[in-house]
């Protein structure tokens, strides 16, 4: 029993050590020269453009549902006019970034994990390495940079679509013009709402890319390991998103709200 626990802890510590080494190798390769621009653009397209529909639909529904859920409580309190502001602040600060990141963890981290895992199984990564090319620069650096750039952009787009969903939901029961609704939304926003949210989505994006690449790059050689890499990438990336969110909210509170 104790032996199993020790083995478990040792494996966990080894995993952390491996991730640190992988991070150091990633960091070193950023400055190794010869950034793969074409692959970076391709990844931005794959990660960003191809996830836009999913993020858009999810955000739209979230905006719509939030208004439907919030309305009765705010009407009871006589604060129905606060609906646009409540939705905007909660969506921009928290719900939009986290929902987008979780969707991206499910779609992007798993896809990167499975793709690199399958490249590992079929010896494509080994082939790059023994040819004298740099697989880390081509496969890992580009993907992590692409997720770090595209997740914030997707989050911003998701926020806008979510607020639009809220506008439509509000118009089911009440009547509010589009310009008045968006004026209320924008006027309720502050720099301290927007900036920390964007910054944390950069970290969410980095975590999604890093975890996906790490899990895929370090998968074992076997078809089963591709599935394990994809699954493990989603679980770990989702967990990291909440950890980063918890840290980000503390830092934001200290910097902006005190």
Contact set with other proteins (CB under 8 A): 34, 115, 119, 122-124, 126-134, 138
Q: Cα dist. 149→12, 188, 198 in Å?
A: 30, 26, 10
Least distance in angstroms from the C-beta of 137 to other proteins: 9
| Structural contact between residues 230 and 116, judged by C-beta atoms closer than 8 angstroms | no
Give whichever of 46 and 245 is closer to other proteins, judged by the CB atom. 46
In whole angstroms, give the CA distance from residue 171 to residue 150. 32
- The nearest distance, CB 50 to other proteins, in angstroms, is 14
Nearer to other proteins, 172 or 221 (CB): 221
- Which lies closer to other proteins via its Cβ, residue 39 or residue 94? 39
Contact 107, 208 (CB under 8 A): no
* In contact, 189 and 89? CB cutoff 8 Å: yes
Nearer to other proteins, 36 or 94 (CB): 36
CA torsion through residues 136, 141, 142, 143, sign: positive
What's the closest the beta carbon of residue 146 comes to other proteins, in angstroms? 14
- Residue 74, classed as helix, strand or coil, is helix
Q: How far is the CB of 122 from other proteins (least distance, A)?
A: 6
């Amino acid at each position: 029993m104790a032996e199993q626990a020790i083995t478990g802890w040792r494996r966990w510590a080894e995993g952390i050590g491996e991730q640190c080494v992988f991070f150091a190798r990633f960091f070193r390769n950023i400055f190794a020269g010869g950034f793969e621009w074409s692959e970076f653009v391709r990844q931005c397209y794959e990660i960003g453009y191809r996830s836009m529909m999913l993020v858009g639909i999810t955000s739209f529904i979230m905006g719509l549902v939030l208004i439907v859920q919030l309305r009765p409580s705010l009407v009871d309190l006589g604060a129905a006019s606060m609906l646009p502001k409540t939705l905007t602040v909660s969506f921009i600060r928290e719900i939009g970034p986290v929902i987008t990141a979780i969707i991206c963890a499910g779609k992007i981290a798993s896809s990167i994990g499975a793709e690199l895992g399958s490249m590992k199984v079929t010896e494509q990564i080994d082939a790059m390495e023994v040819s004298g090319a740099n697989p880390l620069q081509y496969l890992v650096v580009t993907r992590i940079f692409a997720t770090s750039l595209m997740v914030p952009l997707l989050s911003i787009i998701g926020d806008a679509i979510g607020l639009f969903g809220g506008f439509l939901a509000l118009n089911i029961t009440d009547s509010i013009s589009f310009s008045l609704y968006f004026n209320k939304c924008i006027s309720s926003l502050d720099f301290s709402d927007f900036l920390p949210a964007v910054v944390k989505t950069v970290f969410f994006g980095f975590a999604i890319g890093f975890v996906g690449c790490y899990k895929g790059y370090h998968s074992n050689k076997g078809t089963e390991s591709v599935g394990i890499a994809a699954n493990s990438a989603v679980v770990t990336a989702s967990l990291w998103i909440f950890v980063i969110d918890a840290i980000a909210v503390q830092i934001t509170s200290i910097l902006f709200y005190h």
